[in-house]
Structure 1
Amino acid sequence: MLLNPKTLNDAKTIIDNAVGNSTVNNIPKETFLEKLGLTGVQEAIDGWNAICSDANNVINAMSKVADFIRNCLTDPRFLIDSTKGIAPDLLLITLGVLIILHFVGFKKTGKWINFIVLIMLAIAML
């Protein structure tokens, strides 16, 4: 079937009839895609776009992990600098949780609190 719209309004009408759900006298009119048996085309296109964007995100994450590993193996200070940037926040949060647990009544948290403090001192010396 060859469609040659003469005006922009004709093109809009063809697109609306092909994709849109139009009704005549409150009776649903069968669209062009329904006549061809292609009612799920837009859903399939949206699903394909979602799969492609998810695959793109996975590939980007893998490349970032590969760059991190490459930097760790080629630059000796990279891992230490990265650890110095992240570790204080994580260690402070862990230390806070351990102190709260110690006050709640967990008796064995004292050695872990001392261990975290030693790690924080070692990082501070680097």
Structure 2
Amino acid sequence: MTVLSIVLQVVLGIGFLLFGYQKFTSEAMKKGFEYFGYSDRFRIFTGLFEILSAVVLIAGIWLPPLAVTGGLMIAATMTGAGFTHLKMKDPVKNMALPLVLLVLGLVVAAVNWTLLA
């Protein structure tokens, strides 16, 4: 396990715990999902998936296969976010954070994948 991977796992894990929590507590998130045309159930699913991604990613510090899974879960979530912004024809600046998080999730998955070989 590399220091880079552990740092990314902790930062992404904390970030996605907070992102997931916001899906349940933030009125802005609720309005955002409405704006994008998504239901409350999808908002709740997304929040739960983000929290689960964070837990799996952090557990991956001790179990590298979980780090791969958690990184791919984050990448999948951010791919969906990117497509949502494309669908809405949002400006590129609104796609920057999902793109960065997508890449970081893939980095964690790739680094830990090589450790399994």
TM-score (norm 1): 0.31
Q: Which has the higher contact order (CA 8 A, sep 6+)?
A: 2
TM-score (norm 2): 0.33
Higher helix share: 2
Rg: which structure is higher?
1
